[in-house]
Amino acid sequence: MRTELFNYPLPPELIAQEPLPERDSSRLMVVERRSGSITHRRFSDLPRLLAPGDCLVVNSSRVFPGRIHARKETGGAVELLLLERVSGGTWSVLVGGARLRPGVRLSFPRSRVSAEVVESIEGRATVRFEAPGGEAKTIDEMIFACGTVPLPPYIKEGPADMERYQTVYSDREISAAAPTAGLHFTLRLMEEVKAAGITVASLELAVGLDTFLPVREEEVEDHGIHQEWFSVDERCAGMLYDARERGGRVVAVGTTVVRALETVAGPGGRVTPGSGRTGLFITPGYRFRAVDAMITNFHFPRSTLLMLVCAFGGRPLVMDAYRAAVGERYRFYSFGDAMLVR
């Protein structure tokens, strides 16, 4: 399948640079898979677009402060963008500001923690942090004290309040990027959803920065998708089973939730508890088992996320929806508007 099938022209001015004053005031495009209709609503309308008995599933992961400034022994400045913990105090990172070779030592402002570069290739590195006495807790304290929350590269400045890049229901700080479909929810809207007879289940998926990268291969099948850690616990699985038993739909908030649920869904669609790393690459032709509807933001051209949405809604309809979004001047990407595909 040609990657170019998932390309579309996007005027740069439609890339949202900051969130709206109110989270749930964003626009919501409603895409009906059966009829092919496309309508335009507000995100605050969501409780009236779902049905009593449905189960909304969110990714409760929180973005950790993974952008850290360091210095080499020569004095050169280095910026590290922590991607994922490999083990203990060892992290996979993106490197900015200087080339790093294996063996290079790094220091951090106002901290006794140091680090050594273990591996380095093409702007990425594996870095082992070290604390006096080998205290892992001290390393984590340094990261959270010295680091800042990273924003996607297409956002030039970002909001004054960085909590706007976290969901209102975020919990553990395990993600390198926000599960952006959830940024539209307010606490008030969550209560309205529950008052409408819709249950809310949560899972965890550690969002990686590779989620922003376009597919560069000419054929989709030649692309190797990134892997992400996830966890679906017994409570979440039980809530989904109960929803299906009473005739409700499973509504995934974001592509991260879709990947996690489809990874642990059985042939009959039943979700079982599980955790680990998922490298599930969902493209058109995939047969969905766990998810009946999904909420998602508008994604990069040629991205694996757009391919997933096309697999769920049908490529012709979803690409028509994207063209309509451009024509209607929707806001795109992390701080942009949303789409409900059902």
CATH of residue 226's domain is 3.40.1780.10
Kindly state the helix (H) or strand (E) to which residue 82 belongs, with its residue range.
Answer: strand 77-87
Tell me how far the alpha carbon of residue 210 is from its chain's centroid: 10
261 Cβ contact partners less than 8 Å away, ≥ 6 residues apart: 57, 203, 232, 240, 250, 252, 271, 290, 291
Tokens of 1: 């399948």
pLDDT of residue 327: 98
Same domain, 253 and 281: yes
Segment 53-70 shows an average pLDDT of 96
Output the CA torsion 166→171→172→178 (10° steps): -20
Same domain, 275 and 200: yes
Same domain, 174 and 115: no
| 132 lies in some domain | yes
Segment 294-321 shows an average pLDDT of 97
- pLDDT-based confidence at residue 148 (cuts at 50, 70, 90): very high
Same domain, 327 and 230: yes
Q: Is the dihedral of CA 279, 283, 288, 291 positive or negative?
A: positive
| Sheet bearing 27-31, strands edge to edge | 38-42, 27-31, 338-341, 293-297, 250-253, 55-59, 199-205, 228-232, 274-278
Cross-strand partners of 114: 107, 130
Looking at 97, 116, 146, the residue that finishes a domain is 146
Angle of CA points 69, 72, 76, to nearest 5° = 80
Same domain, 105 and 235: no
| 153 lies in some domain | no
pLDDT of residue 31: 98
Same domain, 48 and 81: no
pLDDT in tens, 38-52: 999 999 999 999 999
Same domain, 113 and 173: no
pLDDT of residue 74: 87
pLDDT of residue 188: 98
The closest of 127, 202, 197 to 168, measured between CA atoms, is 202
- Give whichever of 10-24, 82-96, 198-212 has the largest mean pLDDT: 10-24
Kindly tell me if the per-residue pLDDT of 331 is higher than 80. Answer: yes
Kindly tell me if the per-residue pLDDT of 278 is higher than 90. Answer: yes
**Cα 107 from Cα 70, distance rounded (Å):** 6
Looking at 146, 171, 201, the residue that finishes a domain is 146
Same domain, 168 and 182: yes
| 217 lies in some domain | yes
Q: What is the mean pLDDT of the chain?
A: 94
Same domain, 196 and 289: yes
Same domain, 46 and 79: no
pTM (2 decimals)?
0.93
| 154 lies in some domain | no
Tokens of 231: 């966890």
Q: Which domain holds residue 104?
A: 67-146
Same domain, 76 and 47: no
C-alpha separations of 145 from 61, 92, 109, 141, 258 in Å: 19, 19, 10, 6, 33
**Cα 180 from Cα 19, distance rounded (Å):** 11
Q: How many structural domains does the chain have?
A: 2
pLDDT of residue 135: 65
Assess contact for 47 and 65: CB atoms under 8 A: no
Looking at 117, 146, 175, the residue that finishes a domain is 146
Kindly tell me if the per-residue pLDDT of 297 is higher than 70. Answer: yes
Specify the higher pLDDT residue, 286 or 135.
Answer: 286
Same domain, 123 and 164: no
Specify the higher pLDDT residue, 209 or 265.
Answer: 265
